[in-house]
Amino acid sequence: MEWKVACMDLNGKVVAVTGAANGIGREMAMAFARHGASLALADIDEGGLLAVKRELEERGVAVYARVVDVSRAADMESFCDNVFSEMGRVDVLCNNAGVAVGGNFEDMTLDDLWWLVGVNLWGVIHGCHFFYPRMIAQGGGHIVNTASAAGLIPFPSLALYSSTKHGVVGLSETLRAEAALHGIGVTVICPGVIATDIVQRSRIVSGSKRSTPGDMAVTMDRILKTRGYGPERVAAAAVRAVERNRGVVRVAPEAYALDWLHRLNRRAFCAMMILGARVAQAVF
């Protein structure tokens, strides 16, 4: 039937990944490469991007890399044009670049808000806007958007981050319903607490009675690293999701648990989060 999407064999396919210089994006590139795909990489961090490119090339993978600010339409458009002219086609697009602003909503400046929505939401919109019509024209493909567990549930101190990630989930699920007709699958990944360097690349705007925002950043980073759920496991889930054309993919156990509780009862979930926020204020 025309509205079903066939499963994908990744060998020899072209995969584009944004935010590929580190964390989940880097591991996605590595994982798709291991399955025999060629890679097109984008990131705003040139040094990190070139390191990943070199690492892949040493393994004999065909790589195209370019410095891109996903929040700028012109950057994304030229990335798309270049990838299609260099690699001929794009079978899988991973809109993965993302940032976070942590803290109380009242402490965030307009600039924080613009930055966050620019990268997390517009990055995905730009990716889909430029790549999706060309995927339709070439007759199929798959889009993977990286959201977050905070895209399914509310998480205090990440108000607008949660908001952008909820937006990405809504965008992805809607696009999935529309894209099936063109033989294009759409996946949205909701990882959980993952040990990446996202805190270093984020802005922490609030402290607490005991801690400055800087101390908070150190604590958050320590929590991610102690939890120790590696980004390569998220990447493996993304590859599986493309092969089997899965829709919403929760990865770490906490993503399942929180989503399940939230689905069960929003009021109780919110009460739990308020309690969590109070405890966090007292402890950190």
Partner 1 sequence: MRELTGKVVVVTGAASGIGREMALAFARRGARLAVADIDADGLERVRGELESLGTTVYAQVVDVSIAADVDDLCSNVYREMGRVDILCNNAGVAVGGWMEDMSLDDWKWVLAPNLWGVIYGCHYFYPRMIEQGGGGHIVNTASGAGLLPLPATISYNTSKFAVVGFSETLRAEAALHGIGVSAVCPGFVATNVVRNARVVSGTQRSSPEELKQRFMRFFERRNYTPDRVAAAVVKGVERNTGVIVVGPETRLGDISMRLSRGLIDIVMRYANRLMRKYV
Task: Give Cα separations from 126 to 149, 234, 273, 275 (angstroms).
Answer: 22, 23, 33, 38
Smallest gap from Cβ 53 to partner 1, in A, equals 29
67 binding partner 1? (CB under 8 A): no
- Strands 184-190, 141-146: pairing is parallel
Q: Which residues contact 86 (CB under 8 A, 6 or more apart)?
A: 40, 64
State which of residues 151, 191, 192, 231 lies at the interface with partner 1 (CB under 8 A): 151
Structure tokens at 158: 């990440």
| Catalytic residue status for 64 | no
249 binding partner 1? (CB under 8 A): no
**Given the complex with partner 1, which of 105 and 284 has the nearer CB atom?**
105
Binding mask 113-132 for partner 1 (x = CB under 8 A): x---x---x---xx-xx--x
> Residues 176 to 215: which contact partner 1 by CB under 8 A?
176-181
**Given the complex with partner 1, which of 15 and 175 has the nearer CB atom?**
175
Structure tokens at 135: 């995927």
Distance separating alpha carbons of residues 21 and 252, to the nearest angstrom: 22
- Please tell me which residue in 64, 132, 161, 229 is annotated as part of the active site: 161
**Given the complex with partner 1, which of 30 and 128 has the nearer CB atom?**
128
**Given the complex with partner 1, which of 50 and 272 has the nearer CB atom?**
272
Structure tokens at 109: 């400046």
> Residues 72 to 111: which contact partner 1 by CB under 8 A?
73, 104-106, 108, 110
Task: Give Cα separations from 9 to 6, 32, 57 (angstroms).
Answer: 10, 11, 22
Structure tokens at 60: 């004999």
State which of residues 59, 174, 230, 279 lies at the interface with partner 1 (CB under 8 A): 174
State which of residues 159, 189, 241, 242 lies at the interface with partner 1 (CB under 8 A): 159
- Are residues 5 and 185 in contact, defined by beta-carbon separation less than 8 angstroms? yes
Structure tokens at 110: 């307009």
Q: Which residues contact 66 (CB under 8 A, 6 or more apart)?
A: 40, 41, 42, 49, 79, 82
Smallest gap from Cβ 102 to partner 1, in A, equals 12
Burial 83-102 (b: 16+ CB within 10 A, else e): bbeebebbbbbbbbbbbbbb
Task: Give the 3-state secondary structure of residue 206.
Answer: coil
258 binding partner 1? (CB under 8 A): no
**Given the complex with partner 1, which of 7 and 264 has the nearer CB atom?**
264
158 binding partner 1? (CB under 8 A): yes
Q: At what angle do helices 73-87 and 123-138 cross, to 10 degrees?
A: 30
* Residues designated as active site: 161
Residues making contact with partner 1 (CB under 8 A): 2-3, 73, 104-106, 108, 110, 113, 117, 121, 125-126, 128-129, 132-133, 136, 150-151, 153-160, 162-171, 173-181, 247-248, 263-264, 266-267, 270, 273-274, 276-278, 281
